[in-house]
Structure 1
Amino acid sequence: MDTEIITGTAAPVRVLKKMESAASPAKPPLTRGVLWLMTVATGIVVGNNYYNQPLLGLMARDFGVSEGRISNIAMLTQVGFAFGLLFIVPLGDMLRRKRLIIAAFGGIIVSLLGMTVAPSVGVLFAASFMVGFTSVLPQLFVPMAAELATKEKQSAVIGMVMSGLLLGILLSRVVSGFVGDLWGWKMMYYIATVAMVLLAGLLAVKLPDVHPTFKGSYGSLMRSLWHLTRTQPVLRLAAFRGAMGFAGFSVFWTTLVFHLEEAPFHAGAAVAGSFGIIGAVGALAAAVVGRMAGKVSAFNIVLYALLLLLLSWIVFYIGGYTYVGLILGVILLDLGLQSMHIMNQSSFFALNLGANNRLNTVYMFSYFIGGSAGTYLAAQAWKQAQWNGTVLVGLGFTLLGLIAHLLYAKKQ
């Protein structure tokens, strides 16, 4: 098989020749307006995956099912997102990016409408999977922004777009919690559908077009995912750390609404959703982390981030039955996760392999498989030991990520 050597990393990297870009038109400049548009679009689209979490209690009552069963909606949305990452996002290296993004909006709109008309919980599960499967556009925007940015500004640009992503994740819970309390959970999905229609129109006009870098078949494109995973230890470590971090994050957010419904809180969806405002403090740190990359070693930034995650679970264990404890823990959790997430992505985008979408696919697929595992195990732990059980599960995921970082990061 034809191969060639690509330099520019710590050591020459052998990759498939088809992974190299052919001669293509010059990249359009990344203007401030386009960067803001991608950041805002990332936050709005990713919210589709998280509207359900504060609404699970309302859905359970509407369909007459248990909390444990309705939690499958959150898990299936994350599983759907992981499979969308695997099968849709790599196409960003093969197809013209703008056309792919606009086409994907059609699938998002149909899936969101499916949530509102679902006659049974089984259909709701299927629609939830499809919402996740189609709402993968943020993971096309992140590598697109990194590709269009200059090398000096790449980490800062990634940090800005990722700030939009995490703000979308957190604030979507705030919005859905209040909408659910006021007008019922279905109204949230009607609002989301209208937002997608408007956003698709805006992007069709303003988003620059980026030509593909991969000239092979879809089959060879998918096979190259395994090749990248097998040959890039930086990518493998980033993917594992990300999976463990997001697993713990999902443990907390899946069970928070159930925890708040119990004594001593006796609160509802709106209160659970409002914790997203508190978590936004951590999301806003993303841009700062991106700028720190040249001043503090990546190893230390990730280490501090993992220690913050570890501390958040200790705070949840000690003070999880008070609002003060939950608020402090949420700030630490989101700050730690977002800081690590930015450095994970910066580490493999810096490889400069001409395969940003596929590198991001491997990473984010692992990330959301971890989130799905966290959601599933959180539901099981809640049934067996409620809050203390879920805290121990989250702590376990974080420790695995910390051990992997200490064992392998220095060797790269």
Structure 2
Amino acid sequence: MQINPSINGWIEKYVHQYANEVTSYATDEDFFVACQQSGLIYGYVVKYHLNGTVEDAKWDTEERIKVGFLSTLMALYRKHNTTSVEEFIETILAFYNLISKGKFSFVKMVWPDGSAYQKLEGIINERLQTNDNILTKNFTHMVTNAMLFIDILAFEFYLKNNTISLDFFKDLERKCLALIMLSLNKKNNKSEYDSMLLKMFENSLRYSKVSKINQEEIIALIYQGNRSTLENLYLYEVAHMTLLSDGIMYENEQNFLNKIAFNLNLNKNKQNTGLELVNFIEKHKKELPFFNLNHPVKQFYTNTQENIGKLVSRNKTRLIKELSESKELVKLLRKSTQQDLSYEEKKKVKKQLLDICKSIPSLTIFLLPGGGLLLPVLIKFIPQLLPSAFNENLND
């Protein structure tokens, strides 16, 4: 039975066709290695946690990511439970419903009267923003695509504790972004574009201001709290991907990575060798956009500007309406073009911008994990967006 991940009903077909073929993993390490080999962590899916094969030759990259995301959730559930497909669907819906009650904006029950399968399709479509996905299509930095794995770690936490809160997402996002910033600072050769990307990371933090604390405090933030084995392995991989963004691992960078592994209690674990990432890059280098650009960070910045510009243009009328009701925000944005804003002013800008993004469906991309990295680019377009007469009125 042919499956088309872009047509309604694909999840029901997939789970019933492949439920009995889902791979069973004995350990967290085995599951994580399979996730590396599947490519989900690297934003380019090539395997689906199945003992058999899937006919995916006609699927595009987005469709493979959708199925890869679902199949990873299924495999994780299989590792913890051996119950029916129906119970998996009920559990994953309960997980996302609990998050949505916490007003996590990317989750929407778009088919409130539909079947459980239709509801899950709606959730996955919203989660991956597959119709207009700037992060997947044009944000070629592998680290951001990899942040989809945060959902997998959250689902693991839910399966173990039968509960989940937004604090889990917030804390893990902070750890990842802090680790990325720390790793970028350790890179041997930073170009102006690497520095630009680092600045964007520093400006994008939604829940904390990591750039305002020193390196020792950043390190403490990364390692705070109780972490599962999967979370430790994932944090290590985030650091490794960041350091490999230029395709080269220098000795001092490797030493830094080894210290990360030690602090994550992975120093005696075979999964922290980095071979899976290196092998994946080597095997799929021709298909990975990230490694087919003259300068990936420069290309990221250029593509991001172009696509956010289009997004702003398409939603110009709605944006102007929302901004007309947020005069404080516009004044602060205008001020930012002439001088640096204070920390409190930046917090106000970020909060009010995210509130506007929540109200415009096409801009919910900025609410996804990693989407905060794009806010500085969005801010750049807003002063150009507003009519000069409107700007003058704000001086009154």
Give the TM interval when normalised to the shorter protein: under 0.3
Which structure has more relative contact order (CA 8 Å, sep 6+)? It is 1
TM-score, with structure 2 as normaliser: 0.24
TM-score, with structure 1 as normaliser: 0.23
Higher helix proportion (structure 1 or 2) = 1
